[in-house]
Structure 1
Amino acid sequence: MHTTEYSTTSLQTAALTERVKRRDVREFYRAFAARYPTVRNRYLRVQRVVMFIGGSVTLLGALLMALGSIREIYVGGLNGDGDLVPMALNGVWMLGLGILFTWSFRRLSTRRGTPSRHYRLARFAADNGLSYEPGPVIVKHVKPWADRGVLRLTRVMRPVSQRSIEFANYELRAGAAGTGGARFGGFCAVRLATRLPHILLRAQDGPADQFTLAALPDRAQRLSLEGDFDDHFTLYCPEEYERDALYLFTPDVMARLIDRVHGFDVEIIDDWLFFVSSRDVVTLDPRAWQGLYDAVAALSDKIDRWERWRDDRLPSVPRVAASADAVAENAAGLIARGVKPPAAGSRRVAKSGRRLRMRLGAGELLGMIAFGLLMIGAVVTIFYSL
């Protein structure tokens, strides 16, 4: 399968920044909203209002508690009438909630889809041979990420291509029911024709390198590469797959990554290649689009080589077409020799190479500590109030 390298010089970005006429926007949005009713989602508006009010009230409350604590110290000293401790703890509690509300409001606001934004993005998509879906939509086909929690995509763009490619902004809520912590950002997902071992390259110049809610790979899986590659990326691969990582990331591939992939983490997992950022990638910023297309172009003509990779840790299975009886006979022969035949759908990568071992990231630890402190503050405040 031939993969055409993307050309950033042919990328048409005028629709993202040029002036638009209100009449054109109104006419477009009437038909657009009829096709995608989710763009008029009133629940998201209510969410923003609730976050704004919650953030304003709690931050104001924290300010008042701080002023009250200062007054208590000024009037009664540190050994006053006992109101200082609960007042200070209430202030800390409100400050934490205020920060959480404010952060959520900012995230929701930056992703708010206005008619003019949808108009610009739809025109940009049309100019560059892309389809555009505003979302939000909960997806499961991007299975490696969907298995991590509830994956919701917005502003999804897909080119007309032999290979499945998606540009999208994402919200990933951990846990099967999406009740855990949330990650936000954007990615380009490229579907591969074969499964590969789980390999992660973390960009040193990423916008939120260590302070992310995502778990980080165990340090024992870090692979140091030649040259100055380690100054730009940190590569992780499953143990005993170092030789395979070197086959995939040859010196010319590493040189391309250094020259053209800036600010993106690169992740290979199962039959998907991801370029990931903690910032949105489907935006009205032409420079962001140029950077994303540069990242995809850096590896686009190397994917064919990657798809020729085979895991020699698996039992050899004939690749010729066979009848069901022949397949069963071959499986029975493997079992008779004491070799467990690979399961359907997982025969491309051995179990030890399918997933990296993960540890808690700094951001996740800080979030847990902050939540614990807030809970302790609430309990102490209630105790003093009794």
Structure 2
Amino acid sequence: MKALCWHGKGDIRYDTVPDPQIEDGRDVIIKVTSCAICGSDLHLMDGYIPTMESGDVLGHEFMGEVVDVGRDHKKFKVGDKIVVPFTICCGECYQCKRGNFSVCERSNRNGEMAKKMFGHQAAGLFGYSHLTGGYAGGQAEYVRVPFADVAPVKAPDGVPDEQLLFLTDIFPTGWMAAKNCEIEPTDTVAVWGCGPVGQFCIKSAILLGAERVIAIDLVPERLAMARAAGAETIDSSQENVLERLNQMTHGHGPEKCIDSVGMEAHAGGSIDAVIDKAKAAAMLGTDRPHVLREAIMACRPAGIVSVPGVYGGLLDKIPFGAAMNKGLTIRTGQTHVNRYIDDLMHRVLDGQIDPSFVITHRAKLEDGPDLYHTFRDKKDGCIKVVMTP
């Protein structure tokens, strides 16, 4: 079969790879009908996530038709179309029983490696390095789905893929980020980053009743999409974000702040961002946490900083004294997709939201290598890429 594979920093190829096979009785094999490039895939492309190996199949946003089932599998049958969350979970461990699906204790095949990095292991993830289990991803013609009797959900008949595909990751990710804020009707919510996850943070904060949402970015197309969603905007390339947020909130700061950027923040010529970039280039540091620093400094005392943006290593010069002395709550984590997917599916079917609004580019899988670069370099107004094998 064909798939998009990682071969080193900046090197994504459309390769021929072996077809997946049933390995466990709970598995299913699906023929992928739609998949997408996620912003966190760019961290893999740019070499910021360790333990990638040449030839690894990428992708964790995908759905498709079941073509084979394991001997013990009873949930789906051949011909069913299913939506597959990016988190792989067993449904039986301590964490799964508590709804903490992204920290499943059994699905990461390389748990010992993860323990050395993080102190404890988290769940296996599709297409996201050997640190998270080394599972082949969904930017491919076919995918093996382990523990398929737990996380995947059946797609309703007659609903286009584009309305369901983002239930695999970015819609629940934006929703969990907003839920973690405990939004109240008088709240101002500031969202850093107007990429796909940021757009769903904005939509989710509005659906959850925030009085105001202020979106921060430096890409005109993304800021325009945020305004169309109902947010006020700050262009970080033109204005001092902290000063502008204080002006807009009469000196109080936003009650809730969401960092939907993560480890590869761009911040123009700010001193901390220049130092971060230099350290990363010299292999003296990993992540570039300019946005996290700014969110902590901007947040109103006793507020919440929610971090759906991906971080991979050690962060430098985080103003933790500000977080502690202002009494901030910080919440983060990979998304517990199955905690939210049923609710969000109903919201889509009820017409509260059409998640396809973020799509700017549609293409064939074979176009993926070029589109990775288009997406990363923010060319051609690219905000979200959906591909069909």
Q: Could you say which TM-score interval applies, normalised by the shorter chain?
A: under 0.3
Task: Provide the TM-score with structure 2 as the length reference.
Answer: 0.26
Which structure's relative contact order is higher, taking Cα pairs within 8 Å and 6+ residues apart? 1
Q: Normalising by structure 1, what TM-score?
A: 0.26
**Larger Cα-atom Rg:** 1
Higher helix share goes to which structure?
1
